[in-house]
Amino acid sequence: MGAWGEKRARRGLSRNKAIDPGEIPQVRRALFAAAALVGLAMAVLVGRLWYLQVLHGEEFRLLSENNRVRLVDVPPSRGLIFDCKRRLLADNRPTFTLVAVPEDVPDWDLLTRRLHALIGITPQEVADARKAARGAPPFKAMRLRSNLDRDQLANLETFQYELPGVKVMVEYRRAYLAAKETAHVIGYLGEINAEELKKAPRELYRMGDYVGRDGLERSRDRVLHGARGVRQVEVDAVGRELKVLSDKPERPGHDLILTLDLDLQKAAAVGMGQQVGAVVALNPKNGQVLCMYSAPSFDQNSFVLGMSGAQWQALSKDPMHPLKHRAISGVYPPGSTYKIITSAAGLSEGVINKDTLYFCSGQMSLGRRTYKCWAHKRGGHGSVNLHKALRESCDVYYYRVGKSLGVDRLAKYARAFGLGRASGVPLPHESSGLIPDSAWKRKRFGEPWQEGETLSVAIGQGFNLTTPLQLARMVAVVANGGRLVTPTLVAAVVRPDGGEPVPEPPGMISRTPVSDEHLKLIHEGLVAVVNEPHGTASRARVKGVTVAGKTGTAQVVALKFERKKGEETPWRFRDHALFVAYAPAEDPEIAVSVVIEHGGHGGSDAAPVAQRVLATYFHGPQPLPEDEAAKAAEAAGRPAGQGTTGQPAAPEAEGVDGD
């Protein structure tokens, strides 16, 4: 060894220190701990491999092959809707829908061309579908076209292997079995939008779901919708399902049993014919809505099947406004039906009693103005008490009562009878109407109330605006002995797991400030309106049933010149026809209101519609009148495309020509 090697050896020996015999056990423990850690790590690794390859090998093999296992949302079946006699009104019908899973589509342009050739899908349809699905997971199926017909299904089945990523799904669409009779009450569905989806519970709603857009479908959407399910499925390379690995079933929505009677809905539709307006019928004892019909109506199924832009424009721009729910959102001067309010206020405030007499010469003067009675052409009604005033609808009598009361006391009783405020019916778009008083006019116009305006208000003209539903509630107060009922539409809810229907709680009932004695006097007058000579509503009589009612004719515009005959007046300027009633008078079961826009007179035009509804209620469906609808349209003289003005009569409107 050379000198360099000896030096290197000495340096190496100098680095190695001798091991103290006392440290050997400590070293052994360290080595043992290290070996144990290595062994534990090996055991965990082997266990994990066994878990992945043996215990769950098949499952994870599927997952590793291009995400072949997917979770598929299962939308719930929407709850059904029945009328009070368990007749089906809203059902779910199977329909075939073409969907695509984006991650399974290798070439969108090629797929679009093939689909266009097979079933006529346009590039724009595909582009719109992809835009709507933007932001969704790529494995989420997106809807390309709904309601496929048999020929389209056959073509898709024949060429399915040329359509990677595309499949046909069975969905359920809403079907309305009494569409035009129940359209406004039940409403319709529409696809949920992104803004609504942000606010909706994530566990209930997904993009592509249908939600209520109007009516009960909207107000009871959460009850009808149900809860989603989920399936874990194995799919092949082009997205076709091979088998179901697990399944959590959906929970269907609850069914609704309504208070509506389909027979009464049909009777209202037949009675209205081609006229414009609304019919409402209530159970005066509990507020259940027995009938609620608005005319003209529409077919909700057109929304379900899909509506083109042109179709939507035609429907939404129709001058007759068929989408408007006139029963709750149409507002009209109540006309002489308001004399129920003036009678109640006059009696309760001590302004009149049953024997108070006023003389009607056909007109009344106040300042420089003359206010006419509808009977002014025949010299008026002569001496009039309350009974005669109600029976013959004397305007002069109520001018005098209103003048003594003042507008503020009239407003107090009108509101107590449910006018001028929303009823609480569980439907969207209800109007409150308007009951004016002196404070309202000061706030609205900055002007004091004029005494002449009170005369117009006292006979249901002027600024008064009411809905048909409010008028039904008003007359129900007389029918039930002074109680204001809250209208309800759902009688019971049926759970998806079966069992007895769960009744809905009744609506609130409040007492009005009118005594039984005074209500009886008004009741007797309303019975006379229909059943005594000179009554204004003899056409409301029903065989074997005593009907009580009140007619009304409300001016749409004030005509300063001598009023023309009805057929000579343009349709949009004609008076509204109104009628309210209840029966049987001895123990009322049903209260009805009818409003016909520009319909003429309450006794001759609105009362027969109520008569058909009442006769149907007590005696079952009535025979259809021959060509009644065509005759009504011809008699109305309504030109095509002619809309309504919706303007109240001027406050100074003079007497109306007959009820």
Q: Where in the sequence numbering do the catalytic residues fall?
A: 336
Look at residue 155 and give its three-state secondary structure.
helix
The radius of gyration of the chain's CA atoms, rounded to the nearest angstrom, is 38
Burial of 197 (0-12, 13-18, 19+ CB in 10 A): middle
Class of residue 253 by CB neighbours under 10 A (exposed 0-12, middle 13-18, buried 19+): buried
The per-residue b/e assignment along 463-480, b for 16 or more CB within 10 angstroms, e otherwise, is bbbbbbbbbbbbbbbbbb
The residue assigned the tokens 């009562």 is: 401
E-assigned strand segments in 555-625: 576-583, 590-596
Partners of 465 in beta bridges: 434
C-alpha–C-alpha distance, residues 653 and 213, integer Å: 40
Question: Alpha helix (H) ranges present in 300-385?
Answer: 301-305, 309-316, 326-329, 339-348
DSSP class of residue 488 equals B
CB atoms within 10 A of CB 658: 18
Distance CA 202, CA 199 (A): 9
Cα dist. 397→164, 212, 363, 366, 373 in Å? 82, 49, 10, 14, 9
- Determine whether 108 is exposed, middle or buried from the number of CB atoms within 10 Å of its CB (0-12, 13-18, 19+): middle
| Spatial separation of the C-alpha atoms in residues 137 and 120, rounded to whole Å | 27
How many angstroms separate the CA atoms of 217 and 188, rounded? 6
Residue 109 CA: distances (Å) to CA of 105, 135, 254, 385: 10, 20, 43, 84
Q: What angle do CA 33, 36, 41 make, to 5 degrees?
A: 130
Closest Cα to residue 485, out of 506, 509, 505? 509
Q: Which residue has the tokens 């690794």?
A: 45
Helix axes 516-531, 339-348, angle to 10 degrees: 150
Helix (H/G/I), strand (E/B), else coil: 269: helix
**Would you call 261 helix, strand, or coil by DSSP?**
coil
How far apart (Å, rounded) are the C-alpha atoms in residues 349 and 607?
Answer: 31
- The rounded distance, in Å, linking the Cα atoms of 616 and 397 is 35
